[in-house]
Amino acid sequence: KMAILDEPTSGLDPQSTQELLELIQELSGNGMTIMLSSHMLDVVQSVCDRIVLFNKGKVGFFGTVEELAGKLGRGSVVIDIAAEGVDIKSIADGILGVTDVKEGAGGVWSIEASRDIRPDIAKLVVQDGGALKSLDIKRARLEEAYTRFFAEAFDAAA
């Protein structure tokens, strides 16, 4: 069974959009394949487990948002962490899969990684005698990955 939907949320009010997205997820959960074409990238990311990006009429990418982010040289997840009594940068730099570590405002560090490193970094902070204050994860966003994909495709063509 397969359903092909072209811009299914176009013209819908917020309530109808939510109901349609829930129906799409239910049908997918029951084994139906849903092919969805949309320029609403937040909608796509909320209901799709795989994406296809076309470039000049050809498949430029097929896979998950995380795989696309990884292909573009950016970590597929961003971990925000705050801790006391330890050097977060030194700890993070020693973890497999970490691609970037930046200190942000208020003592919160952002760590880009190719995988979810929260268990690793939490364990190391505690082992080093630190106090973990916060630990959050942000997954790659399709809109950001899409923009970077086509920027790189444009640069390659130039």
Task: Return d(Cα 89, Cα 109) in angstroms, integer.
Answer: 8
- 104 lies in some domain: yes
Q: What is the mean pLDDT of each successive set of 10 residues along the chain, which is 158 residues long? A: 93 94 93 91 85 87 81 75 96 92 92 89 96 88 80 68
Query: How many domains would you assign to the chain?
Result: 2
Together in a domain, 88 and 65: no
Which pLDDT does position 91 carry in this prediction? 96
The reported pLDDT for the residue numbered 141 is: 74
Check residue 32 and give its pLDDT: 93
What is the pLDDT, as a whole number, of residue 149? 82
Residue 155: predicted pLDDT: 66
pTM across the whole model: 0.58
Give the pLDDT confidence score for residue 26 in this predicted structure: 94
Q: What confidence score (pLDDT) does residue 123 get?
A: 96
Give domain status of residue 65, yes or no. Answer: yes
- Flag whether 158 is in a domain: no
Q: What is the CATH number of the domain that holds 49?
A: 3.40.50.300
The enclosing H or E element of 110 equals: strand 109-113
Whole-number pLDDT of residue 135: 95
Segments forming the whole domain that contains residue 26? 2-69
Residue 94 and residue 111 in one domain? yes
CA atoms within 13 A on the CB side of 96: 0
Q: How far, in Å, CA of 73 to CA of 156, rounded?
A: 15
**Same structural domain, 61 and 116:** no
Q: Which residues contact 149 (CB under 8 A, 6 or more apart)?
A: 53, 60, 61, 68, 72
113: domain CATH number is: 3.30.70.100
Whether residue 79 sits in one domain with residue 127: yes
CA distance 44 to 130: 40
